[in-house]
Amino acid sequence: MNLFSDWTWFHRLGSPRWFYQNSGRWLPWLSVVTLVVLATGLVWGLAFAPADAKQGNSFRIIYIHVPASFLALAGYYIMAIAGAVGLIWKMKLSYMVMKSAAPIGAVLTFIALFTGAVWGKPTWGTYWVWDARITSMLILLFLYAGVMALQYAYHSVDAASKAGAILALVGTVNIPIIYKSVDWWYTLHQPATIKLTSAPSMHPDMFQPLLVMIAGFYLFYALVLILQTRNEILRRERNTSWVRELAAAKMTTNTIANEAKSE
């Protein structure tokens, strides 16, 4: 109950300084765990999982394609929610999270599109089809590009943050509509020659590494988002005394280490 009556935890969470200092403590652990999970999933999926009966070994692309698609879409919602929190509670930190989430999501969307195209060649005989899911993914990439371009277009940090948040929210309202309409459009025009069957029910031996990869991608996303947000904090708070002291402390420890090395 105390959690809800007392809002100090919420404000502390919104403090860039608090976030920066605490995330610094978690980062080494998070990066080690991410690396281990991703490496496990990669080796398992590439070398140990059995090949698909119909698609052969090309199906192994699923181990990066599906997690990347998951995170590409989830990333947009994370970005939009961060923007909404910024607009409602005027929380500086959440605008920084929003700005950092955009390029990460765009790269993951690109990965999903690229791996999908490469996977399409051996399975359907072509790199690109105007399939509903592929088209929606492409539109998602455009939506990310819009938010990023808007962030870079404004000189004023405040205007850029608010404009980006509004655009992200408008996009969020639109994503289900876009997905449904593209789906409907595809069933209308579905070419007879190419038949995309939905993923066959996967054997547990194939499915387990996929779960590991999805977990790994989520961890990776969190890790990169924290790294980018920390940079954004330094960029926006560079004139505060705590950032200056931090920079000074970091530099002196570095120079001491260098001198020790040279001796």
Partner 1 sequence: MTMYFANFDQLIAMGGHGVYVWSAFAVTVAAMLWLAVAPVIKHRALLNDIQRDSQRNRQRQRDSQRQDQNQQAGQSAAVSNATTDSPSNQSEEDF
Partner 2 sequence: MARQMDSGFLAWLRRDLLLAWRRRGEVASPVLFFIMVSTLIPLGLTPESTRLAEVAAGMVWVMALLATLLSVDGLFASDYQDGSLEQMLITPQLLPLPVLGKITAHWLTTGLPLTLVSPLLGLMLSLPAAGFIPLLWSLALGTACLSLIGAVGAALTVSLRKGGLLLTLLVMPLYMPVIIFGSASVSYAIDGINWLPPLAVLGALCAAAVALCPLAVAGALRATASN
81 binds partner 2 (CB under 8 A): no
- Look at residue 174 and give the partner it binds from partner 2, partner 1, none, a contact being a CB closer than 5 to 8 Å depending on partner kind: partner 2
Q: Which is nearer to partner 1, 145 or 166 (CB)?
A: 145
For helices 62-89 and 92-124, the axis angle rounded to 10 degrees is 160
In terms of C-beta density within 10 A (0-12 exposed, 13-18 middle, 19 or more buried), how is residue 25 classed? exposed
Within 8 A by CB and 6+ apart from 229, the residues are: 19, 23, 93, 96, 97, 100
- State how far the Cα of 112 lies from the Cα of 135, in Å rounded to an integer: 12
Cα angle for residues 15, 16, 22 (degrees, 5° grid): 95
- Look at residue 49 and give the partner it binds from partner 1, partner 2, none, a contact being a CB closer than 5 to 8 Å depending on partner kind: partner 1
139 binds partner 2 (CB under 8 A): yes
Element (H, E) at 250: helix 241-262
- Look at residue 47 and give the partner it binds from partner 2, partner 1, none, a contact being a CB closer than 5 to 8 Å depending on partner kind: partner 1
CB of 179 to partner 2, least distance (A): 10
Give the residue, chosen from 9, 18, 26, 142, that forms a contact with partner 2 under the rule CB under 8 A: 142
Lookup: tokens for 77: 């919602």
Q: What's the first-to-final CA gap in the chain, in angstroms?
A: 58
88 binds partner 2 (CB under 8 A): no
Residue 126 DSSP one-character state: -
Q: Looking only at residues 156 through 215 of this chain, which bind partner 2 when binding is defined by CB under 8 A?
A: 156, 158-159, 162-163, 166-167, 169-171, 173-174, 177-178, 180-182, 184-185, 188
Q: Which is nearer to partner 1, 39 or 149 (CB)?
A: 39
Q: Which is nearer to partner 2, 185 or 207 (CB)?
A: 185
Which residues make up the interface to partner 2 (CB under 8 A)?
87, 139, 142-143, 145-146, 149-150, 153-154, 156, 158-159, 162-163, 166-167, 169-171, 173-174, 177-178, 180-182, 184-185, 188
